């Protein structure tokens, strides 16, 4: 059984791309693999009248395990806003126990579960708990997606410190070139490699595909 929790240095840094690529990677090796997005905002109704967003659709498209949408994505909200605010507007409290139960059911169905977070590591999920608290409950290896742009070094190192402070394992990180004209990509990559003890498991250049080394 292998599971990984994919988080990002921020929103829009390529978490879904990397998480979906990881699902595809493990499925190609013959593992029963499923993706999970505990909380998703910016959802729209599909043909089954279910709320779903493109991140979840991407994860499902690469999974080779059929799982109920309520397990893959327990909390779904229409507004494309912070999860805890979307939940408040919907009159719902995001409960970590509900998410943990869905995850455990997925582990019964699959050999590998790739969990994709929302926003950054410390994004609030309710009035008192954050995504970091959820990661602590799961207690599975983390994979950090670093959006390679100005400011990425600080964001990455702060996130690594937060992961370590909770006693979680950082299995690896991905350097994802999200700005095609980022002039100092190589220099920033070297700086991160010098400062993050965990291995860089993939370097994804603009419009290139992710290749993983575990």
In a domain, 27, yes or no: yes
Residue 207: the pLDDT is: 86
Strand order in the sheet with 2-8: 33-36, 112-120, 2-8, 142-147, 170-176, 200-204
In a domain, 107, yes or no: yes
Active site positions, annotated: 37
The string of pLDDT tens digits covering residues 154-199 is 999 999 999 999 999 999 999 999 998 898 999 999 999 999 999 9
In a domain, 100, yes or no: yes
CATH number at residue 176: 3.40.50.300
Measured CA to CA, the distance from residue 51 to residue 193 in angstroms comes to: 40
- Contact at 8 Å (CB) between 31 and 114? no
In a domain, 8, yes or no: yes
The string of pLDDT tens digits covering residues 92-148 is 999 999 999 999 999 999 999 999 999 899 999 999 999 999 999 999 999 999 999
Work out how many domains the chain is built from and give that number: 1
Considering only the C-alpha atoms of the chain, give the largest distance between any 2 of them, rounded to a whole number of Å.
Answer: 49
In a domain, 26, yes or no: yes
In a domain, 115, yes or no: yes
Q: Can you give the pTM of this predicted structure?
A: 0.95
In sequence order, the 6+-apart residues with CB closer than 8 A to the CB of 72 are 34, 35, 36, 37, 56, 59, 60, 63, 102, 106
Q: Which domain holds residue 22?
A: 2-33+95-204
Kindly state the average pLDDT of the residues 56-67: 97
Residue 47: the pLDDT is: 87
In a domain, 81, yes or no: no
Cα-Cα-Cα-Cα dihedral sign, residues 39, 72, 79, 22: positive
In a domain, 105, yes or no: yes
């Amino acid at each position: 059984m292998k599971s990984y929790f994919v988080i990002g240095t921020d929103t829009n840094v390529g978490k879904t791309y990397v998480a979906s690529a990881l699902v595809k990677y493990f499925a190609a090796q013959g593992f029963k693999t499923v993706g999970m997005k505990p909380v998703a905002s910016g959802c729209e109704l599909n043909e089954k009248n279910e709320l779903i967003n493109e991140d979840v659709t991407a994860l499902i498209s690469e999974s080779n395990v059929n799982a109920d949408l309520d397990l893959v994505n327990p909390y779904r909200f229409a507004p494309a806003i912070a999860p805890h605010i979307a939940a408040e507007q919907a009159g719902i409290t995001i409960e970590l126990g509900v998410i943990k139960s869905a995850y455990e059911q997925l582990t019964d169905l699959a050999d590998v579960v790739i969990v994709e977070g929302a926003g950054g590591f410390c994004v609030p999920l309710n009035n008192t708990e954050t995504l970091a608290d959820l990661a602590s409950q799961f207690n599975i290896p983390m994979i950090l997606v670093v959006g390679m742009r100005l400011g990425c070094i600080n964001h990455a190192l702060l996130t690594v410190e937060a992961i370590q402070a909770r006693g979680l394992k950082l299995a690896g990180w991905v350097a994802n070139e999200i700005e095609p004209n980022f002039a100092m990509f190589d220099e920033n990559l070297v700086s991160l490699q010098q400062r993050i003890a965990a291995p860089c498991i993939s370097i994804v250049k603009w419009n290139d595909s992710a290749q993983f080394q575990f």
